[in-house]
Amino acid sequence: MKTVTTLLLAAGLLAAADTRTFVGVITDTMCGTDHKHMGVSPDEKCVRDCVKQGAKYALYDGKEVYRLSDQQTPEKFAAKKVKVTGILYEKTRIIKVEKIEAAR
C-alpha cells in the first residue's frame, strides 16, 4: 500500500511539473500570426469570424501558434494579450488549458 501511495504521489508531482504559463495573443488556426490577408478588421472580428468558419482558437506567443483545448473562454479574449496556464502536448502543439486570464 505504501508503494502505491508513493507512486501516485510521484505521478502527481510529474503532472504538476508540466503545467506552465504561456503569454501571447489569442488568434485562430486559420490566420495564425497575420490577419491582414483575410481583409477583415479589426483583428478581433477576424479571429471570431475564422472560428465561426471552422478554425480553432489558438495562442501566438511571438514564435509559435498553439491550439487551445478550451474553445469557449478564448472568445472574450480574441486578439488580446493573455496568460494561459496549462500543459503543452508537444506532438500535437495543443495546450490543455487550465486557466486563461488577461495579461498586463
How would you write the pLDDT of the chain (104 residues) with one tens digit per residue?
666 555 555 555 555 558 999 999 999 999 998 888 778 889 999 999 999 999 999 999 999 999 999 999 999 999 999 999 999 999 999 999 999 999 98
Domain 19-102 has CATH 2.30.29: no
**Domain parsing of the chain, residue ranges:** 19-102
Contact 96, 32 (CB under 8 A): no
SS (H, E, C) 18-87: CEEEEEEEEEECCCCCCCHHHCCCCHHHHHHHHHHCCCCEEEECCCCEEEECCCCHHHHHECCEEEEEEE
